[in-house]
Amino acid sequence: MQINTYVIDIDCAKDVVSSDDILLAGIDLCVTPTLIVESPNGYQAYFVLDRPSFISKAHDFKLLGTNKAIARSLKLAFSKEIDGVDFGCNPFGIFRFPNEENVVFYEPDNLFNFKKLMAWSMKVSDDYQQEEQDRYMKQFKASDFKQTQTSRFRSLLNQPVKGGKGVLGRNSAIFPLLWPAIHLNWIKIPALSS
């Protein structure tokens, strides 16, 4: 199995988003599509690799996850620039067949190197995670947030906590409450020594 192309499906009204908007977004993001196809409900932007990315069982399908991450980064980046990016659309699925009537942009020399696209994707992902963390921190600081007022705390309070080998106990009870603080590095968990 191999992946040759990533596709972003953009569901939009033509008076809201045009193929030029997609091209300008691609230029701003340094990933201009190879091909843009017009569909009845918007556009499909194709990003063609210069060489296929081969997915194999011998390598535990590791490149499939990488390819999915690249496709998600493309969607994330374009969604910040234009409206209508469909996150539910399979980026490796079957799409509209390009023909003379529906192709609105085509640059055959605009092909993508997998390793460079992967590096670009990692930067987009890191930037997105930082933005999410900053937004969460801002919401947290702006609100009068108390862990003890959350529904999951109240739910946990009403559950019996039984410890013991092979039985859910205090760790299972407390870590879900601490997870947001641990995830955002507000609390450092020391390594357990044996």
> Tens digit of pLDDT for each residue in 127-169?
767 666 666 666 666 555 566 666 766 776 676 666 666 666 6
Q: pLDDT band at residue 105, thresholds of 50, 70 and 90? A: very high
Residue 74: predicted pLDDT: 92
| Predicted TM-score (pTM) of this structure | 0.64
Q: Is residue 66 pLDDT above 80, yes or no? A: yes
Q: Which of 71-75, 78-82, 94-98 has the lowest mean pLDDT?
A: 94-98
Q: What share of the chain in percent tops pLDDT 90? A: 32
Domains of the chain: 2-129 (3.30.70), 146-183 (no CATH)
Distance CA 82, CA 72 (A): 15
Q: How far is CA 83 from CA 10, 62, 93, 124, 129, in A?
A: 8, 31, 21, 18, 20
Torsion region of 30: left, alpha or beta (phi above 0 gives left; psi -120 to 50 gives alpha): left
Q: Is residue 193 pLDDT above 50, yes or no? A: no
Rounded to an integer, the average pLDDT of 21-39 is 93
CA of residue 176 relative to chain centroid, distance:
24
SS3 182: helix
Higher-pLDDT residue of 30, 159: 30
Residue 176: predicted pLDDT: 64
Residue 87: predicted pLDDT: 87
